[in-house]
Structure 1
Amino acid sequence: MSDPGPSPLPPGLPAVGARTGSRGTTGPGTGARPALPGPPSFARTRPADAPAAPDGARPAQEDTVTARRSAMARILSGPTGLGTASLHPCRTEPPAVPEASPAVPQAPEATGAPAAGTPVPGLYHHPVPEPDQARVEEVSRRIKRWAVDEVQAFPPEWEDQFDGFSVGRYMVACHPDAPTVDHLMIATRLMVAENAVDDCYCEDHGGSPIGLGSRLLLAHTALDPLHTTGEYEPAWLASLGSDAPRRAYRSAMEYFVRQSSASQADRYRHDMARLHLGYLAEAAWSQEDHVPEVWEYLAMRQFNNFRPCPTITDTVGGYELPADLHALPAMQRVIALAGNATTIVNDLYSYTKELNSPGRHLNLPVVIAEREGVSERDAYLKAVEVHNDLMHAFESEAAALAAACPVPTVLRFLRGVAVWVDGNHYWHQTNTYRYSLPDFW
């Protein structure tokens, strides 16, 4: 890992941890990412000699717009100033050249430009450039070789589904600042491993809510090793190769810890424990045939969500956000909002797919329709609004944190999370193999 150097906290940083519960504002549906205002806890104090606003008067809109643009532009441009050159996205490798090894079947994205897809109407998002096709092809080739040869992550009859997932295009779009393909492969293996657990333990490839807690606990030991006695350790080690999810978790984690610091690895384990807790809540509702309240569903989705993916953006980028800065309450809120927004994107794009699957799948439109007594169409459109509110809050809080704590690694990390959010939407929109939209417009 490259060492970005010390990250002295700017004066007044403890105020970053104070929360006021403010929310973002409504913005346009698409286009360049806007800069949104920070919550009151981040606002600068009015100078003593500045005239007070008349009672009932609104703040000067020109100053607010300028502050929005400046804050978010700072995030997306990355860190600047003396000693920050090493923190900028860069490539440290020549264009990938496939090895002269036995050919491995290519994923769909390696054969041509992806379909444009149709974004959910009214969904607040930002277009992204098409991912580097050479990198997409190389990541696709490597990940299939790993999944087939190293960990046997799926049987031959699932090959078309593995290809259709287009994980190479997904990860290249989400991590454009990865210095090398090796760095991209860190995220790609973990993504495939997480989906193997979801499919085989939770979903329709053999998954079941019955006994899920035991399966998840034992799989989690592939990420967070068991420390036991010499007598019992061999049995545990043997168990790590007993099924595809554990094989994938173990191998992906071994690759990850070679590139990450101890702090980054511990952060990832914590986020995966959160994910598994969310799986268990959803499984409990399934066993009871219970539809939660909307707020309960959103609480579950804060745990059963994409959070482990954007929080490794610094490892994939070849640098480290120090643990004390990652632990700031304001940073934790930004990360949580990003995870929540990206997960509702999944609910919206997978809605039709899940309706056509056996059983009842909980997603935000389904829960809103059931609990608020509205039509499927109105529930779906309400879910779009929920997503948009989460996105505006994410952008507002990220801009505020960038202004309050302009440490280079913080700025680059915030930029990485924002880019991951946009790349995640891009993948859902363009993956027409998996997703199609309902006819609600």
Structure 2
Amino acid sequence: MPSYRLPEIHRSYTPRPATPAPPAPSAAPRPPTGPSGVGTSAARLAERLADDSPRESAVRVPPLYCPDAVRDDPALGDEVNRRLVEWAEEIGIYEGRLDKLESCQFGHLMMLTHPDTDDPDRLLAAARCALSEWSVDDHWVDEGEDAAPELIGPRLALAHAVVDPVRLPVRYAPEFERVVQKEPVLRAFRSALGHLSLIASPTQVARLRHELAVMFVGYGQEAEWRTSSRVPAVWEYLMHRYENAFFPCMVLLDPIGGYELPPQEFADARVRGTYLYAGTAAVLLNDLYSMGKEDPTDTNLPNLIAREEGCSLQDAVDRTADIHDELMHTVEAEAAALAAAGSPELGRFMAGLWNWMGGSKHWHATSPRYN
């Protein structure tokens, strides 16, 4: 089994200097061009942001404080990716978009973020869960044929009824089942959690159910922004990123690694706080790397900072990077302290959290999805 490593504590931290704003472009901001692609969770507020957001033609993402990937095994990533695309075709998600799905290399993301296993079946279990989560966004929010925000509430209720299986009276259960069988996203969740339960304890599956329920709350918040054409404040967006982040992926660290973090340690407030900081930092990294492929009017932290504070987009990108780095330094110090004081399983979990972020950074920097 590959080794894992604990984060080292680096206490010195100096915020990066402000970057001078680049010259304003001669061309006007381009209009919205439609969905931004697989896995994008930012709500669209084109009409408001197109008028209000400063936008530059060339924006540089500065170096970010984040570990490197522990391992990169392209052959293993290719195998997981191949099996994932086959499963998606079987379930019916991303119909007509399988080539695009394959090119995103989500199998490589799982290989990079779970370096303590080289078992493709375990990595595929994580990949199925992740793709089910992203299919909510891509089928019902951004890219679906009927991506109507007013339908998000009832659709998420159906998804939760599959994730935390509902038991209806016998007379009415067949009606619910007919709806599930007609909807690929619902079938994907059922299949993914079924496969996960083969390697995870009931407690570990319950943890994923909780994180999915929180994620569904975040999707509901996005739907309100879209239906009301309301642009969220920066503080509200940061709160939103505590709800709509990579937590459902990261909570699978121990079942995919083949161990279980004791419940009392998982529920400890300090452990939970470190885990939430890590997930928020990871999704802010995603905000930065995904800007190049998204429409300029998408809702992400740099766009909102630029709009709210009237600064250049480059300054807003740099400030987002500072926030990311501040979170990362806190995660680094807290994870090391918790690992030293807790059980061996907690030490492994904290190391896995750190390594997950390094693998995610590597994937964002190299995946054709963003490059």
Instruction: Please report the TM-score for the alignment, with normalisation by the length of structure 2.
Output: 0.82
1:184-207 Cα offsets, whole Å, 9 max, x none, are: 111011111111111011113332
- 1:410 alignment counterpart: 346
Give 1:302-341 correspondences, 5 Å limit: 302-341=242-281
- State the structure with more CA Rg: 1
Residue identity opposite 1:277 in structure 2: V
**Is 1:123 equivalent to 2:64 in the alignment?**
yes
Number of positions where the alignment pairs a residue of Structure 1 with one of Structure 2: 318
The CA distance in 2 between the partners of 1:265 and 1:129, in whole Å, is 26
On the 8 A contact 2:67/2:354 being kept in 1, the answer is: no
Runs of at least 5 residues in structure 1 that lack an aligned partner in the other structure = 1-31, 38-60, 62-118, 437-441
Residue identity opposite 1:176 in structure 2: P
Residue identity opposite 2:135 in structure 1: A
- 1:421 alignment counterpart: 357
The CA distance in 1 between the partners of 2:317 and 2:233, in whole Å, is 16
**Is 1:378 equivalent to 2:319 in the alignment?**
no
Q: Which has the higher contact order (CA 8 A, sep 6+)?
A: 2
Give 1:71-90 correspondences, 5 Å limit: none
Give 1:62-211 correspondences, 5 Å limit: 120-149=61-90, 151-156=91-96, 158-178=97-117, 180-206=119-145, 207-211=147-151
The CA distance in 2 between the partners of 1:170 and 1:294, in whole Å, is 29
Runs of at least 5 residues in structure 2 that lack an aligned partner in the other structure = 1-5, 13-59
- 1:18 alignment counterpart: none
Residue identity opposite 2:344 in structure 1: P
- 2:211 alignment counterpart: 271
1:35-77 Cα offsets, whole Å, 9 max, x none, are: 246xxxxxxxxxxxxxxxxxxxxxxx9xxxxxxxxxxxxxxxx
The CA distance in 1 between the partners of 2:10 and 2:175, in whole Å, is 54
Cα displacement (A) at 1:130: 4.9
The CA distance in 2 between the partners of 1:208 and 1:378, in whole Å, is 34
- 1:342 alignment counterpart: 282
Residue identity opposite 2:8 in structure 1: P
Cα displacement (A) at 1:355: 2.2
**SS of the residue 1:353 aligns to:** coil
Q: Name the CA shift for 1:122/1:136 in 2 (closer, same or farther; >3 Å).
A: closer
Cα displacement (A) at 1:129: 4.8
**Is 1:231 equivalent to 2:157 in the alignment?**
no
Give every structure 1 segment of 4 or more consecutive aligned residues whose post-TM-superposition deviation is greater than 3 Å: none
- Quote the sequence identity (%): 37
How large is the Cα RMSD of the aligned pairs? 1.8
- 2:369 alignment counterpart: 434
Instruction: Please report the TM-score for the alignment, with normalisation by the length of structure 1.
Output: 0.69
The CA distance in 1 between the partners of 2:264 and 2:370, in whole Å, is 39
- 1:219 alignment counterpart: 159
- 2:9 alignment counterpart: 35
The CA distance in 1 between the partners of 2:281 and 2:148, in whole Å, is 27
- 1:257 alignment counterpart: 197
- 2:25 alignment counterpart: none
- 1:100 alignment counterpart: none
